[in-house]
Amino acid sequence: MAGSRFAKIAWLLVAAWVVLYAPMAFEYMSRFLFHGPALWDHVYSGVVGDRQALGLGSIHDVQSPRYQQNLAVMVMHTTVSATAILLAVFQLSARSRRRIVIHRWLGRVQVVCVIVGMLAAMVFLVSVRPSGTFDGAAFNIQLFGLALGTLLGTLLGWVAIRRQQMATHRILMTYAFALLCTAPFLRLGYLVFGLVWPHSTQEVSNLAGAGIEAFLAPTAAVLAARYVAPPRSAVHPVRHLAPAMVNASWVAGIGGAVLLGWLYAAHFSGADRVTVCWAVTALVALTTSARAAGTASSEPARHDWITYRTSVLLGIPLTVVLWGVFGVAFGAVPGFYGALLTGPAISISLGLLLIAASRWRRASQPTDEAMSGVGTALSHG
């Protein structure tokens, strides 16, 4: 009961910030076309001051020439992605599912918007290359992964509903929404970090926020999965992780953390803010999921939490491996931050896929929605 009240409040807060931010993103590029109102610039500089929001080292300062050179692509990206995220807020609301024909049509528009918005982002990333992306290779790698993840989540979510897999459809569409939300919440992070670290730069706020989001975005999707497709529909115990793998993940996670710390000490002098924020988020994710697994009210719920905790643990050695790979391509320091920004996100996303697969019903089994009549209408769209 308390859990569902918390979920409702969290959803309202997320939806409110998305609805507030989306118009600012929609018109962000208008300043290059007709001296538009620059709403976000005003909000950002109003909260943290002109130096950090618009001065040397800010996105406004560093990226303006690149946005001008790639204006058509970036106008496409910002307007269409802002539309996609607004549509997603409506689509995920209970109200939209009561109007199934509208839900179906807006769903199609949303899929097209996501495809166009993410392809535009990828075109920009390829055209400016890692060195022309804000914060360099590390952010370029994360944004590319985000674009792919958002595209895949949306397309697989669409395939799921075509196959009448309502629970999996909901989980995947919520995942795509969580990834889209990294944009408004990264900007919220700029405001918070700008206030907490007044002498810092947007480059640091951006990397710190992106490092935290590498955990939080897929984690939000895991949490949402527990409400949008509760584990009573978990019908494939065989897809749960084997106990040996769960135990091995502790060894891999702790071993990975020690190795990561040792390699970090060899390459950096003293702890930096981005790495500290990342490590604290990892610890919070681990301790809360271990507690949730221990106090889960049902066996399927316990399995969900164990899957999540295992994915967080395995994200640490994966980060070490990715550092090795990105280090060869981009150098040790950008490679390290690139690994921080992607390792946990990939691993937790795979954990979520496992949770989604556990809700996949065999064709012969009646779905919850077929019983209620809602899913049948949707899936025949």
Q: Which positions touch ligand HEM (CB under 6 A)?
A: 22, 25, 28, 59, 63, 77-78, 81-82, 85, 121, 124-125, 133-134, 143, 146-147, 150, 179-180, 182-184
Min separation Cβ 360 and ligand HEM, Å:
25
Nearer to ligand HEM, 211 or 256 (CB): 211
Q: Is residue 358 within 8 Å of 351, Cβ to Cβ?
A: no
Min separation Cβ 171 and ligand HEM, Å:
17
Instruction: Report the sign of the C-alpha dihedral through residues 11, 221, 125, 60, in that order.
Output: positive
Q: CA-CA distance, 254 to 279, in Å (whole number)?
A: 13
Nearer to ligand HEM, 28 or 337 (CB): 28
Range 43-80 burial, b when 16+ CB lie within 10 A, else e = bbbeebeebbbbeeebbbebbeebbeebeebbbbbbbb
Nearer to ligand HEM, 11 or 17 (CB): 17
Nearer to ligand HEM, 77 or 309 (CB): 77
**Residue 37 DSSP class:** -
Min separation Cβ 89 and ligand HEM, Å:
11
Range 223-232 burial, b when 16+ CB lie within 10 A, else e = bbbbbbbbbe
Rg (CA), the chain: 21
Torsional class of 236: left (φ above 0), alpha (ψ -120 to 50), beta (otherwise): beta
Min separation Cβ 250 and ligand HEM, Å:
32
Concatenated DSSP letters for 240-301? SPPHHHHHHHHHHHHHHHHHHHHHHHHH-SS--HHHHHHHHHHHHHHHHHHHHHHH-SSHHH
Min separation Cβ 267 and ligand HEM, Å:
25
Nearer to ligand HEM, 23 or 230 (CB): 23
Nearer to ligand HEM, 81 or 367 (CB): 81
Retrieve residue 117's tokens.
Answer: 């918005």
Min separation Cβ 6 and ligand HEM, Å:
25
Nearer to ligand HEM, 121 or 173 (CB): 121
Q: Which amino acid is at 70?
A: N
Q: Is residue 99 within 8 Å of 374, Cβ to Cβ?
A: no
Min separation Cβ 85 and ligand HEM, Å:
4
Q: CA-CA distance, 307 to 257, in Å (whole number)?
A: 19
Nearer to ligand HEM, 214 or 260 (CB): 214
Min separation Cβ 184 and ligand HEM, Å:
6
